[in-house]
């Protein structure tokens, strides 16, 4: 009887210790392995831009229905020119994924460049699912998204500029 009691106490002690060890958030195990959300975010922020990205303009919306304006905007984004036409630039909203930190850094730098060129630009961040949904339903003005997240064929009506990671390198985004 005494042996069963000792086994019961040791088992309960082990379970209690294991429960404390695995307590969330953050668990000691996460701390030991570096699997905390903060550690993941730091790793994502240090990651470089990779692959291809889509800069999409929604031509169904009034300010972007003018093909010349869209071409000027694409030339500016691609770096072919550093000036935008002075003809009353509309307010623009650039939508980007909130968890793609290298792309978010580039989008912030792009908004600063556009603002310096005289445009009124707002950067809107969405979750990946919400951004994809808004893109497919045409609920965006300007969209910057990874080609891995959304295929260009999902946006048949969009005016799309394909950008490679090398074209998008910005010294202010390097860690």
What's the pLDDT tens digit per position in 35-66? 556 555 555 555 677 788 999 999 998 878 88
Question: Are 84 and 16 found together in one domain?
Answer: no
Side-chain-facing half-sphere of 145: CA atoms under 13 Å: 31
Residues 154, 121, single domain; the answer is yes
Catalogue the E-assigned strands of the chain.
Answer: 52-57, 91-97, 120-126, 142-146, 159-164
Residue 120 bridge partners (DSSP): 91
- 34 and 64: one domain? no
116 with 68, same domain: the answer is: yes
Q: Which domain holds residue 42?
A: 2-46
Are 112 and 129 found together in one domain? yes
Burial group, residue 130, by CB count within 10 angstroms (0-12, 13-18, 19+): middle
Same domain, 154 and 69: yes
**Based on the domain organization, do 34 and 82 belong to the same domain?**
no
- The residue with greater pLDDT, 100 or 36, is 100
12-26, 41-55, 121-135, range with greatest mean pLDDT = 121-135
Q: Do 125 and 99 sit in the same domain of this protein? A: yes
pTM of the model as a whole: 0.71
Tell whether the model's pLDDT for residue 121 goes beyond 70. yes
Tens of pLDDT, residues 1-10? 888 889 989 9
Phi/psi of residue 23, nearest 5 degrees = -55, 140
Instruction: Give me the pLDDT at residue 85, please.
Output: 72
Looking at residue 80, its pLDDT comes to 87
Strands 120-126 and 142-146: unpaired
Q: Do 25 and 94 have their domain in common? A: no
141 pLDDT tier (thresholds 50, 70, 90): very high
pLDDT reading at 34 higher than 80:
no
Same domain, residue pair 80 and 145: yes
Longest dimension (CA), the chain: 92
């Amino acid at each position: 009887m005494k042996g069963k009691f000792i086994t019961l106490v040791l088992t309960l002690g082990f379970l209690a210790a294991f429960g404390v060890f695995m307590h969330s958030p953050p668990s000691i195990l996460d701390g030991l392995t570096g699997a905390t959300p903060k550690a993941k975010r730091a790793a994502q922020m240090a990651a470089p831009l990779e692959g291809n990205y889509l800069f999409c303009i929604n031509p169904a919306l009034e300010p972007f229905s003018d093909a010349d304006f869209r071409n000027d905007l694409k030339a500016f984004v691609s770096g072919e020119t550093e000036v935008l036409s002075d003809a009353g630039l509309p307010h623009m909203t650039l939508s980007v994924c909130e968890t793609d930190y290298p792309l978010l850094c580039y989008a912030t730098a792009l908004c600063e460049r556009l603002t310096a060129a005289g445009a009124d630009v707002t950067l809107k961040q969405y979750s990946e699912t919400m951004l994809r949904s808004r893109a497919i339903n045409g609920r965006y003005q300007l969209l910057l998204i990874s080609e891995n997240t959304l295929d260009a064929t999902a946006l048949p009506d969009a005016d799309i500029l394909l950008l490679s990671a090398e074209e998008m390198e910005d010294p202010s985004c390097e860690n």
